[in-house]
Amino acid sequence: MARVHTGTVSLGIDERGEGAPLVLLMGLAWPRTYWDEGFCDALAARGFRVLRVDHRDVGESDFLDVTPPNIGRVVQAAFAGEPVDAPYLLADMARDVVGLLDALELERAHLVGASLGGMVAQTLAIAHPERVASLTSVMSSTGDPEKVLASTAALDVLFTPIPTEREAAIAHQVEAFRTLSGAAFDEARVRALAARGFDLQAHVPGLQRQQGAARQLVALLASGPRVEALPGVEAPSLVVHGAEDPLVPLEAGEQTAALIPGAELLVLEGMGHDVAPPFWAPVADAIAALR
């Protein structure tokens, strides 16, 4: 494990494997360790140098010293099409990854992003095509508000702050995944993921962790849709989506694949908003096929 300074912030990373560099970007407020070890090993076995990376404001990366705006007002403004003032945008998070590649002296990398991480990966592929060997957008969206039709239970998961105390935080994540994962939910696996994720950032005060998650959510809402820009993506692209995703509906993934030229759409039956063990092999195979 290490921290790499991008020129703007320091990001927490770890790596395994040898071969073509592949960057894994996780979702909103989830540390990089929410990419399961087994999935990372599956990618490494397919010839990738796998880099799990914490976004700013989560995990072992830098947390900003900025109080986030009121989430309720931001949501109202975003869905009304009004400007949203944000400490940073998805474009800044994408530039963090570019800075990471620069620091590691990597000309380009394969990008795999889940949920918010998929949005960051899309943004990077749009703005910095020369740095992207391939793009895989997993259980993510174009940012089109008309395609965000999450279930009420899933929205409750998104907007409920993770508790600051360890056991309560783990229990919260177990119940969140029970809602998000669908039929593939495995309590023992999720409890282990949540414990590792909490311990990774236990050095950060609880309120600071909650504010970091809020800033990431505001960045998502303030960045607007990528509908007009995605047709300009040049990288070989894969869109992976669960047929039973309760948070980001399949329609959002279908729209993403339709907009990116030549993108392959992989729809996995039984998959919710979680890359659970039953889906590791087909997803890893599809990512490897992009080379």
CATH of the domain at 245: 3.40.50.1820
- Domain of residue 247, residue span: 2-288
The confidence score (pLDDT) of residue 1 equals: 64
pTM above 0.85, yes or no: yes
- DSSP β-ladder status, 237-242 and 264-268: parallel
How many Å apart are CA 176 and CA 158, to the nearest integer?
A: 9
Q: How much of the chain, in percent, has pLDDT values that exceed 70?
A: 99
Tell the burial category of 19 from Cβ atoms under 10 Å away from its Cβ (0-12, 13-18, 19+): middle
Chain centroid to CA 278: 19
Calculate the CA 289 to chain-centre distance.
Answer: 21
Kindly indicate the confidence band of residue 185, based on its pLDDT and cuts at 50, 70 and 90: very high
Instruction: Tell me the average pLDDT across 56-85.
Output: 86
Measured in degrees and rounded to the nearest 5, phi and psi for residue 62 equal -65, 140
**Domains held by the chain: number:** 1
Which has the closest alpha carbon to 211: 29, 25, 27, 9? 29
Higher pLDDT, 122 or 67: 122
Mean pLDDT computed over 181-190: 96
pLDDT band at 158 (very low <50, low <70, confident <90, very high): confident
Tracing tokens 């994962």 back to the chain, one arrives at 181
Q: Which two tokens stand for residue 265?
A: 């759409």
